[in-house]
Structure 1
Amino acid sequence: MIYIVGTGAIGKALAVFLKLSGQQVTLVRGSVDDLPETRETVRVRISADQEMTADLPVQTLNSVTSLEGPVLVAAKSYGNENIAEKLAKMSKDVPVCLLQNGLNIELPFTGKGFRELYRCVLMVTSQFAGDGTIAFKPVAACPVGVISGQESVLSALLDQLQNRWFTFRMENPIQPLIWKKVIANCVFNSICPLLETDNGIFHRNPGAMRIAESIIMECIGIAGRFGIVLDDREVRDMVLAISHASDGQYISTLQDIRSKRPTEISTLNHAIVGLARSLGAESLVPQTRILGDLTEIKSRL
């Protein structure tokens, strides 16, 4: 059994792909505790003429009493304290893989003593369409690395997760890629919501890309202070690759704002600014801070 905590567009899409690949999968609501177990038919569109469907069991964290296999956490990262606490009561030995963006989102799990903990850098986009179908687009294979545990256990987990549509690869050390993706997400999750536009804006609009490049340079400077040496051209290329591959799709923060849900900006722009502040270097990230603050204000309006 594979448990996927989080019933958003990422978790549901992966659940469909794993089910169609022959795995037993249970979706687990990450933020609702007291609903009865149900079944849900989930449809995922991977191209204009290709749609995939699977019938999936859906539980809550309270209704799961034991873990019989690995746990994939695809819920919003601001819920990690609650998720880690409830999973720890069942088992700290099953593999747990975080399919989330953001800096230091693994800390609630390391603090609870999970022994096999891994992080995945998401290189896919997924969003709900108006008819409830999930529109899924892969950018590249998603790298997964060890936070605590053994590479052999991670290798076995990745063998279990492999499918044709949502693909994974091992990457150690994973921290440089985590930082690269966080910086890319600082770009997408602040600029796109403020402009009310889709992810394709950066390859279409030179002005938007210039702002993106400023954020990239600010964040790379802070990463370097923590021993993470990154090439600005590689991060720029990542932003453009994501922009091309997900042209027409909307970043999760914009989807959250439109749906009046909390956003993850605290683990992106605000996290970078917080690290800069801890070094007495907040003045080095002015645009990252302002765009993060504006995004948070917009989410509360």
Structure 2
Amino acid sequence: MNASRIIRLAFPFILNYVVYYIYLFTPEIYPIMNKIYIIGYGAIGKVLAVALKLNGHEVCIIRGSIADAPPQLQEITVESASGNWPSTEIHIGSLQQFRSLEDGIIVLANKSFGNARLSEVLQSKVGNAPIVIMQNGLGVERSFIEKGFSNIYRTVLFATSQNLQDGLVRFKPVAASAVGVVKGNEQLLNETVEQLNTPQFPFRAEKSIQPVIWKKAISNCVFNSICPLLETDNGIFHRDENALALARRIIAECVEIAAAEGIRLHADEVEASLLQISRSSDGQLISTYQDILNKRETEIETLNLEVAAIAQRLHKQHVVRETRLLGELTLLKSKLHR
């Protein structure tokens, strides 16, 4: 094969990569209003990226913790109960490569302990674009409110995910995940949810998001402390009465603090939700336990320890003794394993 023929065959591939690199470094040249930027390279961000790409959206995963990661294409496969989704190539980049993110929706699927630093980095890049915080816990939006971001939305996830091996992620949806306004308006909320919602990974708009946040946070206080300490999977609560009895005590403590904050919840409803998640994600490891096994920092400080901090502020620290103790033990276990 002569040189001219090789050049003719290779030219389309070379051109595609040139355009891709230009797009990453100067995204404002290609203003795609339906672009979705997912910050965070964890399992849930990968699943969301694949679901959006399969439904025709322009999507890019941005590494939140690695500033200078080189841009790349990664093939990701999602394993679900109904079978594997088609393997999908996803663009992976870093924040340093983007001058602006104003032409799309910014989804935060990173670990919440990085929010303070991330809010500083994003201040000059986001403008009025909607930020959707897809994280567990209480108070995770605080840094973005303090920095004066215009449109802040919270997602409460009703799904679990787990990295199995390079490029393969397990996903177990339980129900449509709720998205609500922290700061902004309902029209933009509805438009944002419409963009994010797919058959594979459904979302819905929620007018009153705070009770939903608290209800899920209480379940997460249970899962993310008891499961790592027992070194077991999410299914323990529907399988073992003793584990469920401990969960009930944590739920009762947290529901009392929620009520003191003006959020009225019923313990039996929280328990029913916890058991639904336990059954649907039987065999799955909760994110905090995954983090401990992989020697990573956990988000327990936005769960049990944040509830304890709220109780302290309300002079009700005596109410959450077990919730706080389990959180402190989980934090200690995390530190000892790193």
TM bucket (normalised to shorter chain) is: over 0.9
Give me the whole-angstrom Cα distance separating, in 2, the residues matched to 1:22 and 1:272. Answer: 40
Contact 1:92–1:113 (Cα < 8 Å) also in 2: no
- Map of 1:11-50 to 2, 5 A cutoff? 11-47=45-81, 49-50=83-84
User: Is 2:190 the counterpart of 1:165?
Assistant: no
- Give the deviation of 1:73 after TM superposition: 0.4
- Map of 1:198-237 to 2, 5 A cutoff? 198-237=233-272
Give me the whole-angstrom Cα distance separating, in 2, the residues matched to 1:288 and 1:208. Answer: 14
Q: Which runs of 5+ in 2 are unaligned?
A: 1-34
The partner residue of 1:257 within 268, 282, 292 is: 292
- Give the deviation of 1:48 after TM superposition: 6.6
Structure 2 counterpart of 1:159, one-letter code: E
Measured against aligned partners, the alpha-carbon deviations of 1:114-164 in whole angstroms (never above 9, x if no partner) come to: 111100001000001145410000011001100011101111111111111
Give me the whole-angstrom Cα distance separating, in 2, the residues matched to 1:52 and 1:194. Answer: 36
Superposition CA RMSD, Å: 1.0
User: Is 2:127 the counterpart of 1:92?
Assistant: yes
Measured against aligned partners, the alpha-carbon deviations of 1:58-109 in whole angstroms (never above 9, x if no partner) come to: 1111111111201000000001112111111112300110010111100111
Structure 2 counterpart of 1:234, one-letter code: E
Structure holding more helix per residue: 2
User: Is 2:118 the counterpart of 1:83?
Assistant: yes
Measured against aligned partners, the alpha-carbon deviations of 1:236-260 in whole angstroms (never above 9, x if no partner) come to: 0110010011011000000000000
Contact 2:74–2:167 (Cα < 8 Å) also in 1: no
Corresponding position of 1:133: 168
- Map of 1:61-210 to 2, 5 A cutoff? 61-67=95-101, 68-130=103-165, 132-210=167-245
Structure 2 counterpart of 1:43, one-letter code: T
2:87 partner SS? strand
Contact 2:63–2:69 (Cα < 8 Å) also in 1: no
Structure 1 counterpart of 2:149, one-letter code: F
The partner residue of 2:280 within 209, 232, 245 is: 245
Give me the whole-angstrom Cα distance separating, in 1, the residues matched to 2:324 and 2:159. Answer: 26
Task: Select the structure of larger CA radius of gyration.
Answer: 2
2:93 partner SS? strand
Give me the whole-angstrom Cα distance separating, in 2, the residues matched to 1:84 and 1:289. Answer: 28
Contact 1:45–1:52 (Cα < 8 Å) also in 2: no
Structure 1 counterpart of 2:259, one-letter code: G
Give me the whole-angstrom Cα distance separating, in 1, the residues matched to 2:256 and 2:77. Answer: 42
- Give the deviation of 1:35 after TM superposition: 1.6
1:56 partner SS? strand
* Superposition TM-score, scaled by structure 1 size: 0.98
2:284 partner SS? coil
1:52 partner SS? coil
1:103 partner SS? coil
Give me the whole-angstrom Cα distance separating, in 2, the residues matched to 1:40 and 1:65. Answer: 22
- Give the deviation of 1:43 after TM superposition: 1.1
Give me the whole-angstrom Cα distance separating, in 2, the residues matched to 1:230 and 1:49. Answer: 36
2:85 partner SS? strand
The partner residue of 2:328 within 269, 273, 293 is: 293
Give me the whole-angstrom Cα distance separating, in 2, the residues matched to 1:153 and 1:12. Answer: 24
Give me the whole-angstrom Cα distance separating, in 2, the residues matched to 1:197 and 1:132. Answer: 24
Corresponding position of 1:3: 37
Structure 2 counterpart of 1:46, one-letter code: S
Change over 3 Å in CA distance of 1:57–1:188 after alignment to 2 = same
1:13 partner SS? helix
* Superposition TM-score, scaled by structure 2 size: 0.87
Corresponding position of 2:94: 60
Contact 2:77–2:84 (Cα < 8 Å) also in 1: no
Structure 1 counterpart of 2:95, one-letter code: L
Aligned residues: 301
Q: Which runs of 5+ in 1 are unaligned?
A: none
Deviation larger for 83-92 or 37-46? 83-92
Percent sequence identity over aligned pairs: 48
1:50 partner SS? coil
Contact 2:75–2:167 (Cα < 8 Å) also in 1: no
Measured against aligned partners, the alpha-carbon deviations of 1:173-232 in whole angstroms (never above 9, x if no partner) come to: 100010001000000000000011000000000100000000000001111111111011
